[in-house]
Structure 1
Amino acid sequence: MINAVIFDMDGVLCDSEPFICEASVDMFRMRHGVTVQPTDFHPFTGMGEDRFLSGVAELYNVAINIKSDKKFTYDRYLEIIKGRLTPLHGTADFIAACRARNLRLAVASSADRIKVEGNLKQIGIPLSHFHAVIDGTMVELKKPAPDIFLLAARQLGVLPAECVVFEDAVSGIEAARAAGMYAVGVRSSLNHATLSQAGAHSTVQDLSEALAAIATLETNNKLNTTNRIEG
């Protein structure tokens, strides 16, 4: 039985990727005099901003100071998203439905706390709606390692098998499966085939389809349990 829902942030609750890419491009140009492309960051999506920035720095052979350059990037990002970042379709309604059903809720993002809280504030979702908020600074190993989701389950007080994770990135789907959780891919940036190949049990276009996805997972789980008993 599913008793908890864990959300990735970017590409699930909101689409902040264009804005963090914009801020990161600005950082490389303004602090290092190097012109990078937004697409350079795509292979590092979902791995946390340390890898997001250092991965591109390696591509261009740029020596960055991760602490100061990341701070610059986040400061720039928080300015960029004002009045521009909005929740993805179905987000508010799905969270309200989960709360009405007394499901445990968590955000588990590889980003730092400043970005997680900045995003939630901008899209109008209070931190108090979640029973746990996990950011990338709270675990040593980032996605695709399962650590961030396992920590979320512990803070929620549920077993991993009772959790469903909504993720838009391959690394996040792999992390959820490695944690022993249900994984639902959100097709905000990747298609059904790519997310399924990564291990997603199912995919949705956005969170307006999430309740139906959970119902299907629970039905399939009951059928599998019945078949095992009868077999």
Structure 2
Amino acid sequence: MTTTIKACIFDLDGVIVDTAVYHYKAWKRLANELGFDFTEHQNEQLKGVSRTRSLELILGWGGVTKTAEEQVELATRKNNWYVEMINQMTPAEILPGAKEFLEACRNTGLKTALGSASKNSMTILNKVGIANLFDAIVDGNHVTTPKPDPEVFLKGAEALGVAPAECVVFEDAIAGVQAAKNGGMKAVGIGSPDVLTEADLVVSGLDKVTIETIKEL
């Protein structure tokens, strides 16, 4: 028995837009103010990691100890810088093929949802001009458990009124692919097949995938 795919759920960062550079710049600024440096290699290790946990890792790398209250203040400062940067985003920052694929989904009757840990997703979608291409948006303001827990994707399916088995998730992080599989969904990895080994299909970007490919999953 084959299940018909009725919906596509997209992670935001690394799939639709690449805001990792802004996270990196904000964390680096914070590290520098605390008297140490923060590298791009270290930044890679923060993919899909919460803001609080990211700060703990960075302080550990820098050998800096802060109280719980100070950590809250530092995380807030970093986020304020990040928000300032994403408020300058433009439609030119949508990753290749993302807008076209979202439009194709809608034109063929597939429902679309965003499933992101970001609490700033609406700001980003509005700045790049594609908020209207999603039927539902589930982000860090709506979920309590991080990926690989499937909560964000299950809530996305629920908001769209479709069964998890009828959804395909697009993710660039290992934890995100695992979250999709944990929720009983198909997963398309955006990135390297060597890294995203659990995905049903791996492509380099949404410009490399078609509606036909999705329906064949």
Superposition TM-score tier, normalisation by shorter sequence: 0.7 to 0.9
Q: 1:93-172 alignment to 2 at 5 Å?
A: 93-112=100-119, 115-126=120-131, 128-172=132-176
The whole-number CA distance in structure 1 between the counterparts of 2:214 and 2:116 is 23
The structure-2 alpha-carbon separation of the partners of 1:119 and 1:23, relative to structure 1 and needing over 3 Å to count, comes to same
2:179 is matched with 175
Deviation at 1:156, TM superposition (A): 1.3
Percent of aligned pairs sharing the same letter: 33
Aligned residues: 209
Distance, in Å, in 2 between the alignment partners of 1:184 and 1:4 is 13
How many angstroms apart in 2 are the aligned matches of 1:87 and 1:175? 24
Contact 1:5 1:164 in 2 (8 A): yes
The 3-state SS of whatever aligns with 2:170 is strand
Paired amino acid for 1:7: F
1:188-203 aligned within 5 A: 191-195=192-196, 197=197, 199-203=198-202
- Structure 1 residues 103, 66: CA separation in 2 closer, same or farther (over 3 Å shift)? farther
Counterpart-to-counterpart distance in 1, 2:158 and 2:144: 16
Kept in 2, the 8 Å contact 1:50–1:70? The answer is: yes
Q: Work out the CA distance in 2 between the residues paired with 1:170 and 1:116.
A: 20
Q: Unaligned stretches of 5+ in structure 2?
A: none
Specify the SS of the correspondent of 1:185.
strand
Q: Does the residue aligned with 2:195 lie in a helix, a strand or coil?
A: helix
Secondary structure of residue in 2 paired with 1:47: coil
For residues 201 and 177 of structure 2, the distance between their equivalents in structure 1, rounded to whole angstroms, comes to 11
1:18 to 15, 21, 27: 21
Assess, with a 3 A threshold, how the Cα gap between structure 1 residues 13 and 172 changes in structure 2: closer, same or farther: same
* Aligned residue in 2 for 1:225: none
Q: CA deviation at 1:48?
A: 3.0
Distance 1:66 1:151, change over 3 A: farther
Kept in 1: contact 2:31–2:58 (CA 8 A): no
Measured on the aligned residues, the alpha-carbon RMSD in Å equals 2.0
Could you tell me how far apart the structure 2 residues matched to 1:53 and 1:6 are? 28
| Bigger proportion of residues as helix | 1
Which residue identity lines up with residue 182 of structure 1 in the other structure?
K
Instruction: Find the aligned partners of 1:136 and 1:55 in 2 and give their Cα distance.
Output: 20
Task: Give the structure-1-normalised TM-score.
Answer: 0.82
* Aligned counterpart in structure 2 of residue 48 of structure 1, from 39, 50, 72: 50
Q: How big is the shift at 1:151?
A: 1.3
TM-score (norm 2): 0.86
Q: 1:187-231 deviations in whole A, cap 9, x for unaligned?
A: 2xxx11211x2x1001112112222xx5235335xxxxxxxxxxx
Structure 1 segments unaligned to the other structure (5+ residues): 221-231
1:4 pairs, out of 3, 7, 29, with 7
Are the structure 2 counterparts of residues 107 and 66 from structure 1 closer, same or farther at C-alpha, using a change threshold of 3 Å?
farther
CA contact (8 A) 2:37 2:62 kept: no
Equivalent residue in structure 2 for 1:70, among 75, 85, 99? 75
Q: 2:205 corresponds to which residue?
A: 206
Question: The residue matched to 1:110 in structure 2 has which SS?
Answer: coil
SS in 1 for 2:30: helix
Partner Cα separation in structure 1 for residue 145 and residue 31 of structure 2: 26
